Amino acid sequence: MKFKSLLFTAVALALAAGAHAKSIELLNVSYDPTRELYVDFNKAFAAHWKAKTGDNVVVKQSHGGSGKQARGVIDGLPADVVTLALAADVDALAAVARLIPPDWQKRLPDNSAPYTSTIVFLVRKGNPKGIKDWDDLVKLGVAVITPNPKTSGGARWNYLAAWEYAKRKLGSDDAAKEFIAKLFKNVPVLDSGARGSTTTFVQRGIGDVSISWENEAFLAIKEFGADKFEIVVPSISILAEPTVSVVDKVVRKKGTAEVAKAYLDYLYTDEGQEIAARNYYRPRNQAIAAKYTANFAQLKLFTIDEAFGGWAKAQKTHFADGGTFDQIYAK
Amino acid sequence: MSASAPPFLSTKRAPIRVSGPRVIRNPVWVRWLFMTLALLFVGCFLVLPLAAVFTEALRKGFGPFFAAFTDPDMLSALRLTLLTAAIAVPANLVFGVAAAWCIAKFDFRGKSLLITLIDLPFAVSPVISGLIYVLVFGLQGWLGPYLGAGDHPWFGEWLNAQDIRIIFAVPGIVLATIFVTFPFVARELIPLMQAQGNDEEYAALTLGATGWQTFWRVTVPNIRWGLFYGVILCNARAMGEFGAVSVVSGHIRGVTNTMPLHIEILYNEYNFVAAFAVSSLLALLALVTLLLKTLVEWRAQKGLT
């Protein structure tokens, strides 16, 4: 009798374990400043997925300079999804390692960029050097902090925004190149990622102005107080579109295709857009953008397609080996 | 130096030698000047940063300090660091003893080449130590494509099913750590065993001991303090390694971050108290290592005199 009841309990337990919710683990390989965003978002998505399917999903994160992170995935970092700083880095996954199809960017709305941002200036309180626009950055005696465009996505947006400003103001690509060369002469430290640059500026106190993601600048002010730093919005800047993609080859192998896709789709839902807006990313959803309009300065934004003919071209002209950045920096 | 003195005692012996007649002839102010300079240097570059680590860690009191150690990612980093050391140190212990024994007790072709190779990890930058594993085991590397892509005609499916991961996983971290800590034990033992010579082993053999008996009862007791010293240094480096591990880790939180990598992450997240709290744990480890090292030196010297 005792044995029978024991057996019964064992069988019941085994059955219960079998019916127990699946545990799924996703790896999101992302760029530097999204740490806080994805802490919030992963929590919300886990709750959403649990309510929808009953399964537990844990999303692991890896952060670093966007170019470096793409390189890691190419070398075998098993990312289910990448949420990188720019399309060129995701393109590399298709071009170098054929991990995703070449037309990946058409798979999700808005060029696969669920939120956008722009490039602004973070200066010390009271703006002692009187920085107002891009041409103040090339003045003598202004120390500018920006990360290395070779490894950082944010740095490439910075570079292109400054380039386009100079080109529009001075009239030619040659003049713009000279402008950028002057700007980089004012850069004392080139960190490998945007977050490294922010800590250099904020924590180590180096530099007069940090060219920064808008969200990164807001976060620094939130962490360190509005009595220490302020944001300066230039007359014109670039519409930065951080792009996301499922890594097909990895999810096929791990059997996580469905949940990985749902994860990225969730970025486009009202809740996903709210979380992005709360973390100072500009939401695509107009209704939610309107709610947070006080957070985001109105300024003239140009897209990479308008100004540079898309990422593939900009990457080749400016950041590939021997591109304009190499020419400027070798001098 | 007498033939039986192990080389790691040379720092202990050095003051005895320099207090010979030549030094005594130097004016007092010269000695004071050098002593002050040395102390200032040690103060600025060692004591000050160490003190800064602990003050920063305790800046907001003990509450936040201890809270830093309850974070699951931190605990996972701690576990990974301990696991890595637990594999790397014994591996290098076995290798170090074997290599030192071969080199010190026998003559063979290519011996100097072997000695040079053992020193290689000291000579190259840790970043390169990490990159070689990416180049070999990375998806675009030499062996990487066979390890998971499943393109191999015979083993592809089997390999796919096994899901072997070397880099961006624990094996890569262990490999990189073994590589950078390679020389510690061997480098410590080679000069010691060379200085001791083969006489005692020969004596044991002529008295009828077997090879194993000779090794365990004669060789090992002779080298035990040098061995212990090498293991301590090896362990300290294995737990503290940053560069090589950073390259092969992939920085997946709660999975492939070791303690030094976790410190960088915390710092970059403006979580300075936690960053310095974890740093202070590593610094404490360094202090314990120093203490053990001093103890070993003291024991070894006592054992010899």
Percent of all residues in chain B with a pLDDT value above 90, rounded to a whole number: 54
The confidence score (pLDDT) of residue B85 equals 95
Structure tokens, A231: 């944001």
Which residues on chain B are in Cβ contact (under 8 Å) with A221? none
* pLDDT band for position B302 (cuts 50, 70, 90): confident
A174 touches chain B (CB under 8 A): no
Q: What b/e readout covers B163-180, taking b as 16+ CB neighbours within 10 angstroms?
A: eebbbbbbbbbbbbbbbb
ipTM here: 0.80
The confidence score (pLDDT) of residue B157 equals 62
Mean per-residue pLDDT, B244-256 = 93
The residues pairing with A123 across neighbouring beta strands, listed in sequence order, are A209, A230
B133 touches chain A (CB under 8 A): no
CB contact under 8 A, A97 and B140: yes
- The residue type found at A23 is S
B146 touches chain A (CB under 8 A): no
pLDDT exceeds cutoff 80 at B273: yes
Report which of B81, B149, B84 is spatially closest to residue A78, judged by C-alpha positions.
Answer: B149
Report the alpha-carbon distance of residue B155 to residue B171 in Å, rounded.
21
| Candidate from A77, A199, A224 with C-beta closest to B268 | A199
Sign of the CA dihedral A304, A308, A309, A314? Answer: negative
Q: CA distances (Å), A172 to each of A289, B86, B173, in order?
A: 35, 61, 49
* pLDDT band for position B31 (cuts 50, 70, 90): confident
CB A82 within 8 A of CB A50: no
The parts of chain A modelled with pLDDT lower than 70 are 1-20, 331
CB atoms near residue A312 (< 10 Å):
13
Q: Which CATH architecture has domain A118-239+299-330?
A: 3-Layer(aba) Sandwich (3.40)
Strand-strand pairing, A115-124 and A236-240: antiparallel
The confidence score (pLDDT) of residue B300 equals 78
Q: Indicate the fold that domain A2-113+241-267 takes in CATH.
A: D-Maltodextrin-Binding Protein; domain 2 (3.40.190)
pLDDT exceeds cutoff 60 at B10: no
Report the alpha-carbon distance of residue B3 to residue A26 in Å, rounded.
60
The confidence score (pLDDT) of residue B160 equals 61
* pLDDT band for position B304 (cuts 50, 70, 90): low
The confidence score (pLDDT) of residue B12 equals 46
Which secondary-structure segment (H or E) carries A232?
strand A229-232
Q: Who wins on pLDDT, B273 or B22?
A: B273
The confidence score (pLDDT) of residue A56 equals 95
Residue extent(s) of CATH 3.40.190.10 domains in chain A: 2-113+241-267, 118-239+299-330
CB contact under 8 A, B270 and A96: no
CB contact under 8 A, A75 and B252: no
Mean per-residue pLDDT, B269-285 = 91
Which secondary-structure segment (H or E) carries A29?
strand A23-31
**pLDDT single digits (tens) B99-157:** 999 999 888 898 999 999 999 999 999 999 999 999 988 888 888 777 655 555 565 56
* pLDDT band for position B197 (cuts 50, 70, 90): confident
CB contact under 8 A, A199 and B148: no
CB contact under 8 A, A60 and B137: no
Give the CA angle between residues B26, B33, B37 to the nearest 5°. 135
pLDDT exceeds cutoff 50 at B3: no
Work out the minimum CA distance from B280 to partner chain A, whole angstroms. 19
CB contact under 8 A, A60 and B140: no
Q: How high is the mean pLDDT of chain B?
A: 85
| Candidate from A35, A36, A97 with C-beta closest to B139 | A97
Structure tokens, B74: 């931190």
The confidence score (pLDDT) of residue A289 equals 93
Q: CA distances (Å), A163 to each of A192, A241, A316, in order?
A: 20, 17, 15
Q: Is B97 buried (19+), middle (13-18) or exposed (0-12) by CB count in 10 A?
A: buried
Sequence-separated (6 or more) residues with CB below 8 Å from residue A281: A37, A115, A116, A117, A215, A242
CB contact under 8 A, B168 and A35: no
Which residues on chain B are in Cβ contact (under 8 Å) with A35? 268-269
Residue of A nearest to B136 (CA): A75
The confidence score (pLDDT) of residue A2 equals 53
In chain A, residues 228-287 whose CB comes closer than 8 Å to chain B: 253
